[in-house]
Amino acid sequence: MAASQYNCQYMVSMMKLDYLNSGGDPTWLNGLQYTTQKIRNLAKLNGLMAHQPWLLKPRHINELVSRDSNHNPHNVWTISELAQVMVILSTIHSISIFVAACGIVPEIDMVGGTFVDFTKLQSKQYGGSASIAASMMSPFSMLPSPNSDADATEVPQSSPSLGSSPDLTKPDCDFACDSLRSPFLYSVTLPPLHASKRTYDETTSKAHTAELIRRLLLERDVCVADGDDFDVDHTAEDDPCGLGLPHGYEEIQDTFPAPEPRIISPSLSTSLSDAIAAATQEQQRTQEKKFRPVQEDMGRFLDMSCQIEPALFDCRSIQYSVFRVDEFRWEDDGAALLSKCLPELSESLQDEFAETLNFTDLSLFDENEDQHEGGVDTFAFRQAIWYYTLRLFGLVYQDYNYKNMSKFLNMTMAVYVRKACHCITMASEPPQPSLDGNDGSGPQLYLSDINKIDRNDFENMGFELRQEERCHINVIVMEACKQAKLLYALRAVDRWERRAAGEIEEDEGEDERF
């Protein structure tokens, strides 16, 4: 359910296999409606924690733990159970973010792990034994159906025999053959590659990397000289909007050197008309290229009546306010609340967050101790990524200098972190009929490619980085998202407990959706 919220096929495929190997009831994998009411009650919490955790209120906790007379006691969660659920949901959500950011795909023998380009298949004779064997070993015939978890190995009766299979090399038959042999009928047309993503500006990336290293070395020297003190006092000029937010919190300023303007012209030996024709053909070829991602319908694991679209936190919203962490800190309040229910897990999470932020080999790209005495301390860079991710969830730390986000992050890196946090857009589309006779009732989920992270984003983060450093950045984003979700969830639990004890009275407002 948590992985389906991010439409993460890798996590869904892995956990379904682990669930069955652990002796789980296979019926539950048919959809959320086949589980118990107690599990179904978590759908609202799952949706809120995934995409807009700042909307979590004590009333959402009360709906899950209330023991009123109109509630079945078997469907009620205890606070300890709910705390563990929150940890599980936030963990799977954050891992799904990491999977999408790193481009991890399922194994070949799992749903989503197969890609077949039928336009490259060479099958001149289907009567031969080799062709029959190749057809029988088609990965589509061995993968489970997206509509159920039983193996879809049966061929429809309307399917032609192997000896009379049609010619796949004919363009008119490219998709018709798949409809007879495969339950996966997804056809995605690739849009033309955006102009900004066609080239990698290596010159600008190297210049920004050199500038980042210079700033990191200067920051290290300043911290050593000044004792790493930070003045938290803010003037009216630091907060021109009067929201009480630190300067540099709302937006990141572009403080890195601007790229040098370049003029790209066609070769002198190529006429302008030929260059335009070649570009047009390339665009048409990209538009017409199709592939079939083997992906199941994960909407069956979600309650579509309480779904919410991912959204960026609006600092000026009148429906909610920023989360001032000095009022509910993870180290003091969140971990303490969690330790009452899950003491060992609370300590493990604290170590996990600390290790993520502090892990380093004192190098950046190819700059290390050989070039700089003592190496390159990237703590300020890692810290900027961490706090910018928390800022995307509306968390404010009064003891952090938010000017450092603009100092150590360029705009490309900021956009990458934002896409990694909110890369999935869930929406409903009209139901489509399927070949198995199902009328396709109920809304389906699809991904919007507008903010979807891709390989180009991973390879162009704005700085020259090694592959392991790129993965480390994704880990930082993943863990910061996890902590932000947990802080909102645990704060809702804390407020519910204090309201039950009569310590606070909070006007939560009305929300028709939740």
Amino acid at 292: R
Does residue 406 contact residue 255 with C-beta atoms inside 8 Å?
yes
CB within 8 Å of 462: residues ≥ 6 apart: 205, 208, 409, 410, 411, 412, 413, 416
Question: What is the residue-wise DSSP string for 122-188?
Answer: --S-SSSHHHHHHHHT-GGGTSBPTT-SSB--PPPTTSPPGGG---TTSGGGHHHHHHHH-S----E
Render pLDDT for 114-144 as a digit per residue (tens, 0 to 9): 554 445 444 434 444 444 444 434 333 333 4
Block residue for tokens 């038959």: 173
Block residue for tokens 């857009």: 425
Q: Give the mean pLDDT of the chain.
A: 74
Percent of the chain with pLDDT over 90: 40
Can you list the alpha helix ranges (DSSP code H) found in 312-449? 335-341, 343-358, 379-392, 403-408, 411-421
3-state secondary structure at position 449: coil
Residue 512: pLDDT above 60? no
Block residue for tokens 């980042």: 212
pLDDT band of residue 413 (cuts 50, 70, 90) is very high
More confident residue, 343 or 368: 343
Per-residue pLDDT at 178: 42
pLDDT band of residue 159 (cuts 50, 70, 90) is very low
402: which 2 tokens?
Answer: 């938010």
Does residue 431 contact residue 12 with C-beta atoms inside 8 Å?
no
What integer is the mean pLDDT of 48-67? 92
Tell me which H or E stretch contains 195. none
Per-residue pLDDT at 508: 54
Per-residue pLDDT at 487: 96
d(CA 377, CA 223): 11
Per-residue pLDDT at 451: 59
Buried/exposed 111-140: b ≥16 CB within 10 Å, e otherwise: bbbbebebeeeebeebeeeebeeebeeeee
Per-residue pLDDT at 344: 85
373: which 2 tokens?
Answer: 């005495």
Does residue 250 contact residue 315 with C-beta atoms inside 8 Å?
yes
Residue 288: pLDDT above 50? no
Render pLDDT for 373-409 as a digit per residue (tens, 0 to 9): 778 889 999 999 999 999 999 999 999 999 999 999 9
